[in-house]
Structure 1
Amino acid sequence: MLLGLKKLLPLSVVLPLSLCGCKLIESNAYQEKISSPQIKNVILLIGDGMGPQQVGLLEEYATRAPQSVYQGESSAIAKLANQGVTGLSLHGPADKLVVDSACSATQLATGVASGSEMIGLNRAGHKVPTILQKAKAFGKSTGLVSDTRLTHATPAAFASHQIHRSMENAIAEQMVLSDSVDVMLSGGLRHFIPKAYVLSAQQTVLETKLANSGLSLKSKRQDSNNILQQAENQGYELVFTKSQLLEAQRGRILGLFANSAMVDGIEASNKRYLGQPSLRDMTEVAIKKLSKNPKGFFLMVEGGQIDWAGHNNDAGTLLHEMLKFDSAVESVLQWANGRDDTVVIVTADHETGGFGFSYSGMNLPQAVQLDNLNRDVYKPNYNFGELAILDKLYLQKRSYAEMWKAAKGGKAHPEAEQLVEIVNQNSEFKIDNTDANAILAEQKNAFFKRGHKSLGLKTAGKINDFAPFYVYLNERPLNLIGRALAAKQNIVWSTGTHTHTPVGVFALGPSYAIEQFNGLHTHVELGKIMQRVLFGY
């Protein structure tokens, strides 16, 4: 009974109670709160698709890969977790088992249960104010950073309200015109420029910056609304390259650095940014701008392409996406360490791919004689995976998506020989013609639905097991490349979509604030806790 009663008490309340001869006394956390300022800043970092398995991949690489770029040091995520508290969170929708990014981010942003693919709404379809919008109402500064598109599900859920995540044109308008976000940095230019957009002959300052960026001006809009111009009218400074971002003077910035998504993790690791800022660059600029507000700020940073690598069953790219995200976490950790007015939370919306290392019966180990007293012969029964696999994953030169594109060379499908050549040029794990023919094989789409965004094809790549869970038919060749290489990587994948696996919650800050994140939660509960931490209720 005592434990149940303590759980009901707010953290800021300490009551001298006698119950069954027991007395509740002030906790160290409460004493810390008395002498510490109220939390002014919350920085939420979301690794989209980052389950415990993905965190494990990063830390195994960081600390145990023979050629690790971390040189055996722990990842920033691990350091943050070890300095703060660690919990787990379930993330299912209001009435279903498995969540998508829109619903999950909405639940984190609002603390209210939502429906699949909804943005900023409760299950009944009513608008719910988000932590970002409330922070703005409290006079705090606000920011959104993502390496996908600004209008993509996760950032959208913090600053807009739409019945479906696909309504990215409407989301773009709402994010700009709502006036609730001070710094927005991501990709997605195509949703902010009007249909058939052409720069004028006598370019404005905005158009000159856009022209100098070299970005594609292909629009996804079906109207003449120029959201960039609307943003400028709202007082935003518009930037489209890293140099423009670093030179930005205003406190309100809209940065759109790609027509769609920004560069993937492998490109980022190899410094092929195409003029774009890195996820870390964007995070640092956002904090620099937002932290000038004496009332504090709320910032959400998303490593969104972890999820995409998981969907494609692309382990090498997955590792590089984790490295990209971890670098952003490191920059936040450096800024927040030692502060008593800031809470940092690192979590995920869900896990993608059902990823994991596994031991197998392929390439069984040879017997070796140990240098112990008995000179024992050591021979495990199974292949438990060499640590060198981690280095080989890091050495992947292109994502599976880029390999497939290169192999096609503009055609609908590549030849088997060309696919073998491209994959083997870009991966330390090799395929042969038999593998290539299996990757190229097709089957009737048993789930065909005319007009469906992803299931509208009558044929698709042939998957012999769990085919219902590989719903992105245009990406099945990438999944099949992953399958062809998986046994050589000691890796298993269970799906091309999401799993219900609980995700990690790592929180850093004053103990009275972060102790609430310890334990097993739901994302709805996490949303409520974040608001309690930032607003005191």
Structure 2
Amino acid sequence: MNKNLVALAISSVFLTACNNTDTKEIEVIKEVEVIKEVAPTPVTTVKNVILMIGDGMGPQQVGLLEEYARRAPNSTYNNKGNITALSKLANAGQMGLSLNAPHGANGMLVTDSACSATQLATGKAAGSEMIGLDDQGYIVETILEKAKKAGKATGLVSDTRITHATPAAFAAHQPHRSLEAEIAAEMISSGMVDVMLSGGARVFVPADISTDEADRQIMADLGAPTSVYKKSKRKDDRNLIVEAKDQHGYTLAFDKTQMQNSDATKLLGLFANSGMADGIAYKACRAADTCSQPSLKEMTVKALDILAKDEDGFFLMIEGGQIDWAGHANDAGWMLNELLKFDEAVEAVYDWVKDRNDTLVVVTADHETGSFGFSYSRKELPQARTLDGDGMKGADYKPNFNFGALSHLDKLYGQTGTFFDMMNAANSDWDFAAATAQNWMDAVNQYSLYKVDIDQASKIGEREINEYYVADHSYQSAEMVPSFADFKEFYVYADEDHTAKIGRALAADQNVVWGTGTHTAAPVPVYAFGPDGVTRGFSTMQHHVEISQKMMTALGLTYAE
């Protein structure tokens, strides 16, 4: 019984009693005491916490998803009441916003995934590109590690790589996010994570895996397809997959069938050599029923099935990581498909938790990527139309600008390959100095429902001397880079940024604008679902360190101030 019902019941008792005050006084008092006794104590702690991170999913990205779901003429949500799983969480729970920049003595304005995830994992200020360290470089125990020490089961799920910045920050402690080989070794040996489902096998297999037949046979005997172990990013001969199985008790899975058939309570699933299938590839294989990799939703369901067996509860982090990759690429069609893939996983979590009172679900983003937005323009100005409304007074309806047609939503969804697929088609060796305007035009028009002409295509391939050249830098050691007429300083990934040139070629027809090839400092949405006594505190403007602290408090864990 909630507070309003208690008050109503008390009022009705007194109204009934007022006509018989001499004989009913004692009965009234007794009835009030009974009502007080049955009024439930607010739930302020839970057994389970599920944190879902849409990497790069700022408010603009959420807007793209919601517009598609609600108003695309051929929305895939038309048979679901045009409501996203995110909206279901919002309607039944709480919403807030969260700042995410690096805090502390080394504070900056803009975060990266490693810093942001570390702050979400530890409740402490962190520095850029650090994994599981505070802003001074000290190791900080994460919420996952605290949960494990408290006897709870733990899990990490991602559609990128299990050693990528976001999942790594919950279960490893390294000075830089690029140390994925070291992160892999730490995650396996620590024993802190019961379920790990993702891609990234390349840092688990020996350095010579592509040539050593004995090593390759070991992987084949374990049931791994060659696509999983085709190359290595290690510099030694350690096979962490074998170590995980033989020394640390993990059951292994390398495809969807193996994962779904496993009844293990300790499971390592590595489904790709690097990142898992993108949202557009997933859409295609799902339609043809040919998917060999599990989807983000399927990995989420499996993780929940395993972790829920622990009577003490669990902590689970689920990342939709390729929303960010699409944002970096300035690829709106790919990004929409990634948002849909993520929302599928949110739907699975919502279905699992909707009737429970022992679980907190928090959905947020680490940051926004790309400074994306729909925008109105002066291209293809609308034609005048006659409207029937009596307020028009004989005037035509003729807006001054092109505010964007709803058909864009369907056309973005219908894109059949990412901008990286287009780059591969333009030159499979990525020798873009040799790629012609015709190559670029054919490549873009092969995959996009928006078409470019030869002049637009020629601009995609324009290159220039890198005026920010730095020897030995992971990206700025490139002598030639794509040429940008605007904001060139914010396109930092050398040849990869030809994707943003494609984005610019298509932008005017899509009514889409992009401001950067990196991240922005925009506050990101926070959805909280669970007992009201737990979720109410998320309905505010906060910072990611506070989100972490609130989740720890909900689990009954302590955190360092």
With normalisation by structure 1, the TM-score equals 0.92
Query: 2:295 pairs with 269, 272, 278, which one?
Result: 278
Which residue does 1:56 correspond to in 2? 63
Give the whole-Å Cα distance in 1 for the aligned partners of 2:186 and 2:483: 41
Query: 1:465 pairs with 486, 505, 520, which one?
Result: 486
Which residue does 2:421 correspond to in 1? 402
Deviations 1:396-435 (A, max 9, x none): 0000001110121336122211221221121111111111
State, as a whole percentage, how many aligned pairs show the same letter. Answer: 52
Which residue does 1:345 correspond to in 2? 362
Which residue does 2:283 correspond to in 1? 269
1:89 partnered with 2:75: no
1:226 partnered with 2:239: yes
Give the whole-Å Cα distance in 1 for the aligned partners of 2:39 and 2:342: 31
CA contact (8 A) 2:444 2:452 kept: yes
Deviation, structure 1 residue 215: 2.6
Query: 1:291 pairs with 301, 308, 315, which one?
Result: 308
Q: Which amino acid aligns with 2:300?
A: T
Give the whole-Å Cα distance in 1 for the aligned partners of 2:346 and 2:524: 17
1:246 partnered with 2:260: yes
Give the whole-Å Cα distance in 2 for the aligned partners of 1:296 and 1:264: 32
Larger Cα-atom Rg: 2
Deviations 1:163-202 (A, max 9, x none): 0000000000000100000000000000001111245399
Give the whole-Å Cα distance in 1 for the aligned partners of 2:526 and 2:291: 33
Q: SS where residue 371 of structure 1 aligns?
A: coil
Deviations 1:192-240 (A, max 9, x none): 0111124539956x64233446434311100011111111120000110
CA contact (8 A) 1:37 1:341 kept: no
Runs of 4+ in structure 1 off by over 3 angstroms are 35-38, 198-204, 209-214, 373-376
Query: 2:403 pairs with 371, 380, 384, which one?
Result: 384
Deviation, structure 1 residue 280: 0.4
1:192 partnered with 2:204: yes
Which residue does 1:124 correspond to in 2? 136
Q: Please show how residues 10-25 of structure 1 align to structure 2 within 5 Å.
A: none
Query: 1:153 pairs with 154, 165, 179, which one?
Result: 165
Q: Which moved more, 1:101-110 or 1:224-233?
A: 224-233
Query: 1:73 pairs with 67, 76, 82, which one?
Result: 82
Which residue does 2:35 correspond to in 1? none
Q: SS where residue 482 of structure 1 aligns?
A: helix
Deviations 1:6-28 (A, max 9, x none): xxxxxxxxxxxxxxxxxxxxxxx
Q: 1:146 to 1:32 in 2, by over 3 A?
A: farther
Q: Please show how residues 159-174 of structure 1 align to structure 2 within 5 Å.
A: 159-174=171-186
Q: Please show how residues 293-312 of structure 1 align to structure 2 within 5 Å.
A: 293-312=310-329
Q: Which amino acid aligns with 1:261?
A: G
Give the whole-Å Cα distance in 2 for the aligned partners of 1:534 and 1:139: 12
Q: Please show how residues 312-391 of structure 1 align to structure 2 within 5 Å.
A: 312-373=329-390, 374=393, 376-391=395-410
Deviation, structure 1 residue 148: 0.4
Query: 1:488 pairs with 490, 509, 520, which one?
Result: 509
Give the whole-Å Cα distance in 2 for the aligned partners of 1:33 and 1:358: 50
Deviation, structure 1 residue 81: 1.1
Q: Please show how residues 427-466 of structure 1 align to structure 2 within 5 Å.
A: 427-466=448-487
CA contact (8 A) 1:87 1:505 kept: yes
CA contact (8 A) 1:441 1:462 kept: yes
Give the whole-Å Cα distance in 2 for the aligned partners of 1:46 and 1:515: 20
Q: Which amino acid aligns with 1:263?
A: A
Give the whole-Å Cα distance in 2 for the aligned partners of 1:468 and 1:123: 26
Structure 2: which 5+ runs fail to align? 1-37
Q: Which amino acid aligns with 2:102?
A: P
Deviation, structure 1 residue 436: 1.1
Q: SS where residue 249 of structure 2 aligns?
A: coil
Give the whole-Å Cα distance in 2 for the aligned partners of 1:116 and 1:33: 45
Q: Which amino acid aligns with 2:58?
A: G
Structure 1: which 5+ runs fail to align? 1-30
CA contact (8 A) 1:193 1:217 kept: no
Q: 1:163 to 1:302 in 2, by over 3 A?
A: same
Deviation, structure 1 residue 515: 0.5
CA contact (8 A) 1:193 1:225 kept: yes
Deviation, structure 1 residue 63: 0.3
Give the whole-Å Cα distance in 1 for the aligned partners of 2:302 and 2:466: 46
CA contact (8 A) 1:168 1:191 kept: yes
With normalisation by structure 2, the TM-score equals 0.88
CA contact (8 A) 2:49 2:314 kept: yes
Q: 1:465 to 1:526 in 2, by over 3 A?
A: same
CA contact (8 A) 1:37 1:340 kept: no
Q: 1:276 to 1:199 in 2, by over 3 A?
A: farther
Which residue does 2:223 correspond to in 1? 210
CA contact (8 A) 2:440 2:460 kept: no
Which residue does 1:235 correspond to in 2? 249
Q: 1:284 to 1:213 in 2, by over 3 A?
A: farther
Q: 1:260 to 1:33 in 2, by over 3 A?
A: farther
Deviations 1:461-512 (A, max 9, x none): 1101100000011212110000111111111100000000000000000000
Q: SS where residue 362 of structure 2 aligns?
A: strand
Q: Which amino acid aligns with 1:127?
A: I
Deviation, structure 1 residue 32: 7.9
Which residue does 1:7 correspond to in 2? none
Give the whole-Å Cα distance in 1 for the aligned partners of 2:437 and 2:39: 65
Give the whole-Å Cα distance in 2 for the aligned partners of 1:33 and 1:517: 22
Give the whole-Å Cα distance in 2 for the aligned partners of 1:262 and 1:476: 21
Q: SS where residue 302 of structure 1 aligns?
A: strand
Q: 1:359 to 1:46 in 2, by over 3 A?
A: same
Q: SS where residue 200 of structure 1 aligns?
A: helix
CA contact (8 A) 2:254 2:271 kept: yes
Which residue does 2:29 correspond to in 1? none
